[in-house]
Structure 1
Amino acid sequence: MTSVIAATRFSFLDRSRTREGHDGPGALRDTVTLAREVESLGYHRFWVSEHHSVPGVAGSAPTVLAAAVAAATSAIRVGTGGVMLPNHQPFVVAEQFGVLASLFPGRIDMGLGRSVGFTDGVRRALGHGKEDAEDFPGRLTELLGWIDGTQQAHPQVHARPAEGLDIPAYVLAIGEGASVAAAAGLPLVIGDLRGREKVLRAVEVYRRDFRPSARAERPEVIVSGTVAVAATREAARRLLIPEAWAMAYARTHGSFPPLAPAEEIEARTMTAKERGLYERGLEGHIHGTEEQVTEQLETAIKETGADEVLVTTSTYDREALVDSLRRLAGIVRRGG
């Protein structure tokens, strides 16, 4: 029997997480280095993210970082997961992707999200408020119009060199975003794999309401989430610890910290609230040995009908992360 894994593409999203003892510039250089590794392992695409004024994340300019990644690689698709459209003028976003697609033809993906800055101060600094997120469908339509050459709001204005180029667009969605992707006739990127019931409901809505477009004739679903593979299940679990603690700390202290080594976190004395959030942060992720991860992935792909899995694993130990990605690539090559 052919495994569903063999028929599924696998890609990677790096959030350029900072680590204790390593600064933000180093995190961005780590992202570029990791992209080369991911390409050598045969993954389909490598995406970068957008965050503003977050202490634990260095990636604030995804199109700039995507250019560096594309320049450092040769064949892997490169894109954004994503550019947060409410933070930017669609005209400028079109121009940026036009430049990327011109410099790296046939390799650039335009992943788009609807998030705005996490705090009032960040939103004021960006010059955009929550109301801009509510107009995400309109901003998306305007952006696609700049690229397709169909926009009418600004006569005699053209987004060069983007206009007329083939720049694949993807909608990053949680909940209601699935309907936006369906109405626009665009592929859907959705996560995380831990919240399986929520993901399944959104995917069902997306497939039900999908309208074929010039960009996509049929629904396309990319599911994202953490996948950690190691020689033992315990070793794979240790890969999850730094991010689980960072999330627990952020929810109890209001600040997202750099990733810390697993052994340092395990030695911490935590409050009851921190411990509860931390333990919950470790639950539900796809992790384990090759055999265990194969079984979990097959279940996830069958349940969601995913065309692609976008791996989003973040951890302190970069060597262990690369080893995990290498083991996952081996699973994919074997078809399970």
Structure 2
Amino acid sequence: MTRYTDIPLSVLDLAPVRTGHDAAEALTHTVELARATEAFGYHRYWISEHHNTPAMASSATSIIIGQVAAATERIKDGAGGIMLPNHAPYVVAEQFGTLATYHPGRIDLGLGRAPGTDPATTRALRRDHQDGADFPEQVAELRGYLTPAGAGRKVRAIPGEGVDLPVFILGSSTFGAALAAQQGLPFVFASHFAPAQLREALKLYRATFRPSKTLEKPHVIVAANAVVADTGTEAFRIFSSLQQKFLTHFRGGMQFLPPVDNITTLWNSQEARMVNAMLSESHVGTPDTVRRGLQDLVDRTHADELMILSEAWDFDARLRSYELLAHTWSQ
């Protein structure tokens, strides 16, 4: 029988920027939330990479991670993730090698292959206009820079080589699952916005996993949305801001807007289906309701960890959601 209290809870932060507010506020909230969730007992605090998105301030991911790590003491801080095709693997090795040198044993490096932005910005980021097809080769190159120096190595990541830097593969399809299994790395599935292939990807990952020096057996982290409040009505009202973010994305932009009492007045039936499909792995309600939903997610996926995204227009409500979840999960 699964002991749910043995399943660590972690935090995923997109550094949300409220419409009409600025990135400075969002980045201040990121540091405040990291300190708070460390006190609540969360295991990891990961920052995602997004570009040219007014609703998110998480573009310079490694810099934010450095700020979070400097402001905390115990929680593991990292990237969820670095979109590797946007970067030279050597530079990522240097950046995260430096972070791991400043904060030994506390830095994680999650790697993904999506651009984290629109096509025009992707072209601006990727000067060689690669589409991510060489992601497996990039991962191998990056990991090579992190290994201890060998004789004859001409290009060295300093800091970087030989540091204690756990690497994770992120994905929302079977591609990332297959790569993580092949390389014997932990796999993180992004079901907080793309749950469709969750079961298929995890089945493939476990079936084809090859033990490595890094990892003896499969390790799965599942990301999910969770909004917890004292009443179900208030939780669903808070959740409406995330629903509106996806709704505005489908309409050609992305905004993080104040909550509404009745989301159904804002969308048509097709938009509702699209938003609800992308957010189907969302657990919203009172502490008991959300705990049961996440326990069911663990039972369905046999996840080793859960990565929780809890967004709220009001920062105090966001803090309260993470606090309530941590308390109910420990019972």
TM-score range, shorter chain: over 0.9
The one-letter code matched in structure 2 to 1:177 is G
The residue identity in structure 2 corresponding to 1:312 is L
Instruction: Provide closer, same or farther for how the CA distance between residues 147 and 168 of structure 1 changes in structure 2, counting only shifts above 3 A.
Output: same
Is 1:287 the counterpart of 2:284 in the alignment? yes
Question: Any residues of structure 2 matched to 1:308-323 within 5 Å, and which?
Answer: 308-323=305-320
Counterparts of 1:232 and 1:282, CA distance in 2 = 20
- 1:51-90 to 2 correspondence within 5 Å? 51-90=50-89
Does the residue aligned with 1:162 lie in a helix, a strand or coil?
coil
Counterpart code for 2:165: I
Cα separation, partners in 2 of 1:172 and 1:279, compared to 1, 3 Å: closer
Q: What residue number does 1:328 align with? A: 325
Report the equivalent of 2:122. Answer: 123
User: Cα offset for 1:283?
Assistant: 4.8
State the shift of 1:263 in Å: 3.0
Deviations 1:238-294 (A, max 9, x none): 221011111111112x1112x111138859655565555456566551122122122
Map 1:226-245 → 2, pairs under 5 A? 226-245=225-244
Larger deviation, residues 155-164 vs 83-92: 155-164
Question: Which of residues 141, 145, 162 in structure 2 aligns to 1:164?
Answer: 162
Indicate how the Cα distance of structure 1 residues 129 and 13 shifts in structure 2: closer, same or farther if over 3 A, else same: farther
Q: Say if 1:286 and 1:296, in contact at 8 Å, map to a contact too.
A: yes
Distance 1:296 1:195, change over 3 A: farther
Deviations along 1:31-70, whole A, 9 cap, x unmatched? 1111011111010010101111111111101110000000
Unaligned runs of 5+ in 1: none
Q: CA deviation at 1:163?
A: 0.4
After superposition, give the CA deviation of every residue in 1:125-152 in whole Å (9 maximum; x if it has no partner): 1134663411110000000000014799
2:31 is matched with 32
- Whole-angstrom distance in 1 between the partners of 2:207 and 2:278: 32
Aligned residues: 330
The equivalent of 1:301 in structure 2 is 298
Letter in 1 for 2:90: F
Q: How far apart are the structure 2 equivalents of 1:158 and 1:67?
A: 22
Structure 1 stretch displaced more, 84-93 or 109-118: 109-118
Code of the aligned partner of 2:80: G
Distance in structure 2 (CA, Å) of the matches to 1:266 and 1:127: 38
Q: Which moved more, 1:40-49 or 1:279-288?
A: 279-288
SS at match of 2:319: helix
**Aligned match of 1:10:** 9
Deviation at 1:72, TM superposition (A): 0.6
Kept in 2, the 8 Å contact 1:116–1:129? The answer is no
| Structural RMSD (CA) | 2.3
CA distance in 1, matches of 2:180, 2:123: 28
Indicate if the aligned counterparts of 1:95 and 1:162 stay in contact, CA closer than 8 A. yes
| Cα offset, 1:155, TM superposition | 4.1
Report matched runs for 1:87-236 at 5 Å: 87-116=86-115, 118-128=117-127, 131-149=130-148, 155-175=153-173, 176-192=175-191, 198-236=197-235
The 1:57/1:137 distance shift into structure 2, 3 A limit, reads same
Shift of 1:298: 1.4
CA contact (8 A) 2:49 2:61 kept: yes
> Cα deviation per residue 1:58-113 (whole Å; 9 max; x = unaligned)?
11011100000000111111000001100000000000011000001110001111
TM-score by length of 2: 0.92
Could you tell me which runs of 5 or more consecutive residues in structure 2 were left unpaired when the two chains were aligned: none
TM-score (norm: length of structure 1): 0.91
Cα distance in 2 for residues equivalent to 1:180 and 1:249: 33
Q: Return the structure number with greater relative CO, CA threshold 8 A, min gap 6.
A: 1
